[in-house]
Structure 1
């Protein structure tokens, strides 16, 4: 696939370690692409779960994907403040169909007040055993949890107010053009 340009829409597909499709976001507007990252925004986007259930996102969300980090970051812009949902996952790949990654269950949620929670530890343990995650994957994921916590604590990248303000402004500009 050609690298998407600013203003293009792409689908996002999340898979599980065994290869089954986990979740699909129908349309995400691309705000920036570079050699290593894609930043996008979705707002009232149709999401389809692996069991066929469908729902629509409730608020604008910036999405951040990187080719070298084993996590992606969803920045949810809510009335009560900005919160984050960070998936521990493989670096993304892009093909003609969608931006794709493997979701490894562990998640870090950051609340508007700055509280952080590591989520789905039980699910990770269950799937690790079920699908035989290698010791290397386990090590990579735990190292990336540490990196993610460091980014959060330092207000780096998606965790800075300036980032959120800049990319939401750009999303609104591009949306008004369409």
Structure 2
């Protein structure tokens, strides 16, 4: 288990861009589980602050999965019509200053309740790839991780098992006052 990440404690989530610029902060996420290679957290109606200072509040409960060995993270959102997933292609996370931190690499995969999916922001990825000089090796790592993520989706593996999301959500509810 990672120090400071005991179940029930609150952490922030910080997303950065490749050039080191802060991209977005989620104010409060409850830790549900932390091991040496993953953190699972949950939040609901949490404040999110964008790099330009704008802020908004999430609309529904979300279970978040961060990994030290994979170049993606997964957010499962529990909505009226089922579980929707938003997957960020990103660096593996680091934990410091009571926050989970990662670099967001623009590519996103949106997975619908019926497990169909869409790859998003390929144009944004290409633009930032040019602007921030992503090295060729990084490009290959990220594309391999998109493939790995889509394999998980097709296999209903890890976060893509609806039953596991419902179990994590039940645990989250026990931490709410």
TM-score, normalised by the number of residues in structure 1: 0.97
Could you give the per-residue CA deviations for residues 47-77 of structure 1, whole angstroms, max 9, x where no partner exists?
0000000000000000000100000000000
Deviation at 1:96, TM superposition (A): 1.6
Q: Which runs of 5+ in 2 are unaligned?
A: none
Partner of 1:73, secondary structure, is strand
Query: 1:67 maps to what in 2?
Result: 68
- Cα distance in 2 between the residues matched to 1:3 and 1:140: 30
- Cα distance in 2 between the residues matched to 1:108 and 1:3: 30
Q: Give the RMSD, CA atoms, in angstroms.
A: 1.0
2:24 paired with 1:23 = yes
Query: 1:118 maps to what in 2?
Result: 119
- Cα distance in 2 between the residues matched to 1:108 and 1:147: 12
Say how many residue pairs are matched. Answer: 176
Q: Could you tell me whether the CA contact under 8 Å between 2:62 and 2:75 is conserved in 1? A: yes
- Cα distance in 1 between the residues matched to 2:118 and 2:34: 29
Query: 2:44 maps to what in 1?
Result: 43
Query: 1:52 maps to what in 2?
Result: 53
2:85 paired with 1:84 = yes
Query: 1:149 maps to what in 2?
Result: 150
2:138 paired with 1:137 = yes
- Cα distance in 2 between the residues matched to 1:165 and 1:114: 16
Deviation at 1:165, TM superposition (A): 1.4
Q: Could you tell me whether the CA contact under 8 Å between 2:4 and 2:98 is conserved in 1? A: no
Partner of 2:110, secondary structure, is strand
- Cα distance in 1 between the residues matched to 2:4 and 2:148: 27
Q: Could you tell me whether the CA contact under 8 Å between 1:90 and 1:103 is conserved in 2? A: yes
- Cα distance in 2 between the residues matched to 1:5 and 1:109: 29
Deviation at 1:3, TM superposition (A): 3.1
Q: Could you tell me whether the CA contact under 8 Å between 2:83 and 2:162 is conserved in 1? A: no
TM-score, normalised by the number of residues in structure 2: 0.97
- Cα distance in 2 between the residues matched to 1:37 and 1:28: 15
Q: Could you tell me whether the CA contact under 8 Å between 1:3 and 1:33 is conserved in 2? A: no
